[in-house]
């Protein structure tokens, strides 16, 4: 057991605010690495995690923070792929809002030279989810119409960007001109306000071949009814709080497919595919084909404020907590 101490932001009970504590630096086990955390990317799923409403429920108290960027400082038994001192981004699951974190080595990716920690910390989950959803699951084709709900949010914005890079016509749904402008810069061809009649507007544009939905609720219902025959619907999350119920009769008569995408499950059952996904995405970043959007960078002591930005859906792109320089 390590005797060295570190600062962490932890949740002690479901729904409680984060509090700063001193706790022991963790020790990596077989197949794991100890990372000195420099930045932690926050995701909407972190808000569910601290509320006790996520599918993964760590024993409390624990530090949330699903993805990190930092430096490998210690490796566990059997780890040969990552040398000491390597700059990595990692999908930790939780534990990222701390000065050190232990993560499985196969969930780490070496960060390209020149990529800032604040960008690397928010890169894997958002871009990884969209790349797997659009490329691997929906098999989006050039010339198809992609409808993205929540298009200025963390994952939605990456779906706009990747969809456009894959040759799709992207219809971006976002609330207000400022958020729509962000989606337009990412590559959206058509901009719709979230308050519009999405069903009527999208049908007038010919309908959607693929729906990327991190929002759920009423928007999900409208998007479903704006699909073309044989469309693919991708439930990514439920930021609105409403979990859509897809009527089987409509799926049948329109020959629709509903294809759930859970990044954490892919990391568990297909780690090689996920690593290949990261290699592709980092290569695109090095070539200047991706432009990650970080809207807020906060210090560790203000991590609760970062989660609140996500709860109130006030952020665009990613919210990142900077832990060490």
CA 234 to chain centroid, in Å, comes to 14
Binned at pLDDT 50, 70 and 90, residue 248 comes out as: very high
**Per-residue tokens: 246:** 């897809």
Report the predicted TM-score, pTM, of the whole model to 2 decimal places: 0.94
Q: What is the mean pLDDT of residues 187-212?
A: 98
Binned at pLDDT 50, 70 and 90, residue 138 comes out as: very high
Residue 287 per-residue DSSP state: T
pLDDT at 261: 92
Query: How many percent of the chain have pLDDT more than 70?
Result: 99
Binned at pLDDT 50, 70 and 90, residue 2 comes out as: low
- Helix 44-51, helix 303-311: angle, nearest 10: 100
3-state helix, strand, coil in the chain (%, to 5): 35, 30, 40
pLDDT in tens, 277-306: 999 999 999 999 999 999 999 999 999 999
**Per-residue tokens: 133:** 């959803």
| Cα–Cα distance for residue pair 153/151, rounded to 1 Å | 6
Distances (CA, A) of 70 to 41, 85, 164, 216, 277: 12, 9, 30, 33, 20
CB atoms within 10 A of CB 15: 9
Residue 105 per-residue DSSP state: G
Give start and end residues of each alpha helix (H) in the chain: 44-51, 117-120, 124-131, 154-165, 177-186, 198-204, 217-224, 248-254, 263-269, 271-286, 303-311
Q: What is the mean pLDDT of residues 199-218?
A: 97
Say which CATH superfamily domain 126-264 falls into: NAD(P)-binding Rossmann-like Domain (3.40.50.720)
- For the chain, residues classed under CATH 3.90.180.10 are 5-123+292-322
User: Does position 152 have pLDDT exceeding 80, yes or no?
Assistant: yes
pLDDT higher at 56 or 322? 322
pLDDT at 201: 98
pLDDT at 307: 97
Q: What is the mean pLDDT of residues 153-179?
A: 97
Fold that domain 5-123+292-322 belongs to in CATH: Quinone Oxidoreductase; Chain A, domain 1 (3.90.180)
- For the chain, residues classed under CATH 3.40.50.720 are 126-264
Q: For residues 117 and 69, is the Cβ–Cβ distance under 8 A? A: yes
H or E segment to which residue 135 belongs: none
| Cα–Cα distance for residue pair 145/25, rounded to 1 Å | 48
């Amino acid at each position: 057991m390590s005797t060295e101490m570190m600062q962490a932001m932890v949740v002690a009970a479901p729904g409680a605010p984060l509090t700063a504590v001193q706790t022991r630096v963790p020790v990596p086990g077989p197949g794991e690495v100890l990372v000195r955390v420099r930045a932690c990317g926050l995701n909407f799923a972190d808000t569910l995690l601290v509320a006790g409403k996520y599918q993964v429920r760590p024993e409390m108290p624990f530090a949330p923070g699903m993805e990190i960027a930092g430096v490998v400082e210690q490796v566990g038994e059997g780890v040969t792929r990552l040398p000491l001192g390597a700059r990595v981004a990692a999908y930790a699951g939780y534990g990222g809002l701390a000065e050190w974190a232990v993560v499985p080595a196969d969930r780490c990716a070496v960060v390209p030279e020149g990529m800032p920690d604040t960008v690397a910390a928010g890169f894997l989950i958002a871009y990884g989810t969209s790349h797997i959803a659009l490329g691997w699951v929906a098999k989006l084709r050039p010339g198809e119409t992609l409808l993205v709900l929540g298009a200025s949010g963390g994952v939605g914005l990456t779906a706009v960007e990747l969809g456009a890079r894959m040759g799709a016509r992207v219809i971006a749904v976002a609330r207000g001109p400022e958020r729509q402008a962000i989606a337009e810069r990412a590559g959206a061809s058509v901009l719709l306000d979230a308050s519009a009649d999405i069903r009527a507007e999208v049908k007038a544009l010919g309908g959607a071949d693929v729906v990327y939905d991190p929002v759920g609720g009423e928007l999900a219902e409208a998007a479903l009814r704006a699909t073309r025959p044989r469309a693919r619907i991708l439930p990514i999350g439920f930021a609105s709080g409403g979990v859509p119920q897809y009527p089987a009769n409509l799926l049948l008569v329109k020959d629709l497919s509903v294809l759930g995408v859970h990044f954490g499950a892919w990391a568990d059952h297909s780690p090689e595919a996920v690593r290949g996904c990261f290699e592709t995405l980092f290569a695109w970043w090095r070539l200047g084909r991706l432009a990650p959007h970080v809207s807020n960078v906060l210090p560790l002591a203000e991590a609760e404020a970062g989660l609140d930005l996500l709860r109130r859906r006030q952020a665009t792109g990613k919210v990142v907590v900077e832990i060490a320089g």
